Amino acid sequence: MSIDLDRLASAQHPVARFIPALDHYPLLRKLLALGIFEIAFYIAYRYGMSFGQATASPFWFPDSVLLCTLLVIAPRSWWLFLLATLPVRLAVEVPPAPLWFLLGMFAIDCTKAVLAATLLKRFLSDPIRLSTMRDFGLYCLFVVVLVPASSGLAGAALRHALGHEYWASWEQWFYGDALASLIVTPLLFYWVLRPAFPRRDLFARQWLEPLLLIGGLLISTHLAFEPDSGTRGFADTRFYAPIPFLFWAALRFGMFGASGAVGLLTVFAVGTSLSGLGPFTGSTPIELAASLQQFLLLRAAPVYLAAVLFEHTRRVEWSLRESEGRFRYLADTAPVLIWMSGTDGLCVFFNKVWLDHTGRTLQQEHGEGWVDGVHPDDRERCLAVYESNFNARDSFEMDYRLRRYDGEYRWILDKGMPRYAASGEFLGYIGSAVDVTERRRQEVALRDSEERYREVVESQTDLVCRMLPDMTLTFVNEAFCRFYERDRSSLLGTNLIGLVPENAREIAADRVQSVILPRERCAWECEALHPDGSHGWRRWVCHGVFTPDGELREFQVIGHDITDRKHAEEANRKLDHAARLAAVGELTAMIAHEINQPLCAILSNAEAGEILLQSTDPPLSEVRRILADICRDDLRADEAIRRIRALMQKREMLLQPIDLNDAITSVLHLVAGDALQKRVHIRRELSSEIPPVLADRAYLEQVLLNLITNGMDAMADTAAEMRQVTVQTRRNDAETVLIAVFDRGHGISDEKMPHLFDSFFTTKAGGMGLGLSIARSIIQAHQGHIWAENCPNGGAALHFTLRVAAPVSVSTAVDSTGT
């Protein structure tokens, strides 16, 4: 049985148990302590002085009592207890000694006690426990050697002043103090101040050994110090009988047992010597004291040494056990699976978490039993990794599937590393594992998602790239690589500017930088240099990618090939130009027609007037009429020129998103008066679900006005109650909106239908025939279509389409001649 004496540190000293009860009465507590100290010091002083007045006591007990007291009370109270020893010194019946001697001894003893207590408190981890070699060594150095030796110098001086030999006095002083410190003080430490009694429950169960020990000690010491032992001398075996029991006490019960056993031996030795019995009889008092001191010194020193070694070993064992306990606690409570293997590679330990995870016992997992829980597909790899790293003494990390208690295989990430003893000896491996199933699932999902998006990006025909703020490429998609006929590795790290034609670099760089401050997407079109050297056009959309802190991280740029669109626009421009040229021809015809009519009238009138004036009796009234007609026709010509100039004015067409229904409503307000006059009912069928359209509002209203007016004019011969113009809007398809104007006139004949939108084709007297041709040009400039058809129930319908608004502003100049 190994009694855990350190646990006794929690067992309170009776006085310590008692005194805390007086926590609320500090003064009473202090007085009680002082009283107890006075009594103890008196007893020790009387006992110490009983050895003879002419020699120093073999054991100066008062020193031990005083030292122990100073060690347990607060230093601020030391002066009180030190002073309390003076009355005892003065009161105890002592041989006649001068007061100065007593006061000198008082001062030396006080100094000795204060010095010893201070040194012990300063250098020992626990001054009342000599449980380590270091503490015991320091205790011996300070309290057993240095303090007695140094105080002995002063004490010997005092004795010398009384006529005693100096060094003999010093020797007696030194040995007396040293022995008391070696025998009495530890006894007080372990039996009075903080008794290290065995635990009652343990003692109750294991009572036999202490009883045998005590019995053996008593018997052996009696044998060693029986009355006639002095006649046998020190050579007799019985004299050494107590020695085994002393070591038994030290090795089984540590300093507690050693101090008790030595104390018992001391009591016997001193008692028999004082009685004139035992092996020390026949000596002079000085020789007696010296013999006793040497005897006890030689017994106590090795026994205490053995006890300290035992304490040290026990403490180390306890630390190891505690460390192991801590490890086990951590191992079983940490949320990881822990395992350990020995030097042979076989597993010897699995923590609770591992066993709970697998649902198996330690015996089942022991050795290579854990392999049964590994997924069959992973076993071979798992063992290969483990064995190869084990043999190389390398750390490793591997993932494998481990069967859980419910049969499901869970992915485990296992990390193992070699472990070594403090001496460097290889002890085996220790590893920890965590369940990473969820993490793997998320990783797989993330990978799949990333792969999906990557496929989307890589399959794009548009060029997609990412670049740093300085336009260094960090990502390019497959289309980008194909376009520039370079592989990804040669593109990444290069500057995008290098791929842009020189004449477009400035605008490209400017557009990219314009994203930073407003943090908006920007788009621009610029020429693109194809790898084959041809030039094309590309529309780039750029936006910044910012960190959560708002710092620009990258640009993302997407380039869409618009070469075909640009070519189409160019073709359209050429067509427009051709059409414009044709219109110019038509314009010339229009000018000629509008001017020549009044000129013809003027000329004919003038010539007629000439003829009439040549007659003998010219009809002056007729001539006046002729002149008036000439003036009128001249003004007509001027009016015609003004109309032509108005039509000739170019106005920029600005397409932007507009509310179509709102524009129609405005036009209907304009024609309301005219409709009322012509007794035409205007009906609206305007859809509320159409989006904004891309149009120039003024031009659009011009077209609508023309169509609505045409519709009203077409019903000039229709019965008044039947006259109705219907304006309708609806969504045509995803990109266009349809507008229709219906009338209830006589419709459009098959002959006129093909020429309806021709310039100068008119069905109205006095009309120039430009309304529908201009309307067609306007609608075509809006990228829409316009056509006419007859309604099944009579009347005609004019339809045209407009594009749904997109966020791009396109500027086109439209010639009011309709080109």
Partner 1 sequence: MLEVRPLIAVVDDEESVRLALARLLRASSYEVSTYASGQEFLDSLQGRRPDCVLLDFQMPDMTGRDVQRSLAMAKLSLPIIIVTAYDQPSLREQCLADGAVGYLSKPLRRDALIAAIDAAIQGGNGAA
Cα–Cα dist 377/429, whole Å: 24
Given candidates 602, 653, 660, 788, which one binds partner 1 under the rule CB under 8 A?
602
Kindly state whether residue 629 participates in binding partner 1, applying the rule CB under 8 A. yes
Kindly state whether residue 765 participates in binding partner 1, applying the rule CB under 8 A. yes
DSSP labels for 760-813?
Answer: T--SSTT--S-HHHHHHHHHHHTT--EEEEE-TTSSEEEEEEEEBP-S---EEE
Contact 718, 711 (CB under 8 A): no
Kindly state whether residue 598 participates in binding partner 1, applying the rule CB under 8 A. yes
Is the Cα dihedral 200, 201, 204, 207 positive or negative? negative
Least distance from partner 1 to the Cβ atom of residue 615, Å: 9
For 97, phi then psi, to 5°, come to -140, 140
Least distance from partner 1 to the Cβ atom of residue 565, Å: 38
Work out whether strand 736-742 and strand 463-467 pair parallel, antiparallel, or are unpaired. unpaired
Amino acid residing at 734? A
b/e burial code for range 307-317 (CB count within 10 A of at least 16 → b):
bbbbbbebeee
Kindly state whether residue 443 participates in binding partner 1, applying the rule CB under 8 A. no
- Strand ranges (DSSP E) for 75-190? none
Least distance from partner 1 to the Cβ atom of residue 763, Å: 6
The 552-561 sheet, strands edge to edge: 473-476, 463-467, 552-561, 535-546, 522-529
Contact 637, 670 (CB under 8 A): no
Structure tokens belonging to residue 365:
């997992």
Kindly state whether residue 208 participates in binding partner 1, applying the rule CB under 8 A. no
Kindly state whether residue 597 participates in binding partner 1, applying the rule CB under 8 A. yes
**Which is closer to partner 1, CB of 597 or CB of 666?**
597
Within 8 A by CB and 6+ apart from 128, the residues are 71, 72, 189, 193, 194
CA nearest to 143, candidates 124, 122, 116: 116
**Which is closer to partner 1, CB of 305 or CB of 608?**
608
Collect contacts of 626-629 with beta carbons under 8 A, ≥24 apart.
Answer: 629/601, 629/605
Given candidates 316, 320, 545, 589, which one binds partner 1 under the rule CB under 8 A?
589
Least distance from partner 1 to the Cβ atom of residue 770, Å: 14
> x-or-dash pattern for partner 1, window 633-672, by CB under 8 A?
x--x------------------------------------
Least distance from partner 1 to the Cβ atom of residue 629, Å: 7
Least distance from partner 1 to the Cβ atom of residue 596, Å: 4
**Which is closer to partner 1, CB of 721 or CB of 751?**
751
Cα–Cα dist 478/465, whole Å: 10
Alpha helices in 460-562 (DSSP H): 478-484, 488-491, 502-513
Q: Which stretch binds partner 1 (CB under 8 A): 68-76, 284-292, 463-471, 595-603?
A: 595-603
Kindly state whether residue 283 participates in binding partner 1, applying the rule CB under 8 A. no
Interaction with partner 1 in 88-147: which residues (CB under 8 A)?
A: none
Q: Which stretch binds partner 1 (CB under 8 A): 641-649, 695-703, 756-764, 779-787?
A: 756-764
**Which is closer to partner 1, CB of 71 or CB of 788?**
788
Q: Which class for 218: exposed (0-12), middle (13-18), buried (19 or more C-beta within 10 A)?
A: middle
**Which is closer to partner 1, CB of 75 or CB of 767?**
767
Structure tokens belonging to residue 411:
């992915």
**Which is closer to partner 1, CB of 509 or CB of 623?**
623
Host H or E run for residue 414: strand 409-420
**Which is closer to partner 1, CB of 459 or CB of 596?**
596
HSE, side-chain direction, 13 A CA sphere, residue 190: 29
Kindly state whether residue 148 participates in binding partner 1, applying the rule CB under 8 A. no
Given candidates 434, 509, 608, 791, which one binds partner 1 under the rule CB under 8 A?
608
Least distance from partner 1 to the Cβ atom of residue 611, Å: 4
**Which is closer to partner 1, CB of 594 or CB of 743?**
594
Least distance from partner 1 to the Cβ atom of residue 727, Å: 26
Interaction with partner 1 in 21-60: which residues (CB under 8 A)?
A: none
**Which is closer to partner 1, CB of 767 or CB of 794?**
767
Q: Give residues in contact with partner 1 (CB under 8 A).
A: 588-589, 592-605, 607-608, 611-612, 622, 626, 629, 632-633, 636, 760, 762-765, 767
